[in-house]
Amino acid sequence: MKAVSLLVVIAALLAPVSAQDDSQVVSKIVALEKAWNQAYKFRDLKAIDALLDDGLVLVNDDGSLQAKGVFLASVRDSKAADDQQVTPESISVHVFGGVAVATGVFRIKGVEGGKSFARRNRFVDTWVNKGGSWVCVSASATPVLH
């Protein structure tokens, strides 16, 4: 009976630590998602490069696939849209050990081809803890139709 009681006490002590660790990871991933939005808006290739794993698989809102290098080149392209506002409307993070899945909706406003635009996309980003740093290994966006 003492062994069972000891196990219950140990489990009770460890549970809050795990929950606390998860909440720290959630905060970290939310901050990384917001950093990605800002880096994209300002075309900060160095910041984006640091956030994305070299093996990144990106599914664009038109269904096309991009590798990290192609995505960075598209951000660098001066003919791309002028994104004046890139804002997350919602972000939810689920932690599975060394993997975190972020979902939510972001809004982009800007000018493309001389015309103003506003878009909303639902996203799913998968983050992996590699050597103590979180990097995005997979990202997808789907248009939110009104």
Residue 44 pLDDT > 80, yes or no? yes
| Token output for 93 | 């993070």
Our CA dihedral for 145, 126, 36, 24, rounded to 10 degrees, sits at 120
pLDDT by residue (tens digit) across 57-87? 999 888 999 999 999 998 888 565 566 667 8
pLDDT by residue (tens digit) across 89-145? 899 999 999 999 999 998 888 887 788 888 899 999 999 999 999 999 999 999 998
- What are the b/e assignments for 36-65, b being 16+ CB within 10 Å? bbebbbebbeeebeebbbeebebbebeeee
pLDDT band at 14 (very low <50, low <70, confident <90, very high): very low
Assessment of whether the complete model's pTM goes beyond 0.85 = no
Please state the φ and ψ torsions of residue 90, each to the nearest 5 degrees: -155, 145
Q: Is 21 exposed, middle or buried (0-12, 13-18, 19+ CB in 10 A)?
A: exposed
Provide the pLDDT for residue 117.
Answer: 83
Provide the pLDDT for residue 116.
Answer: 86
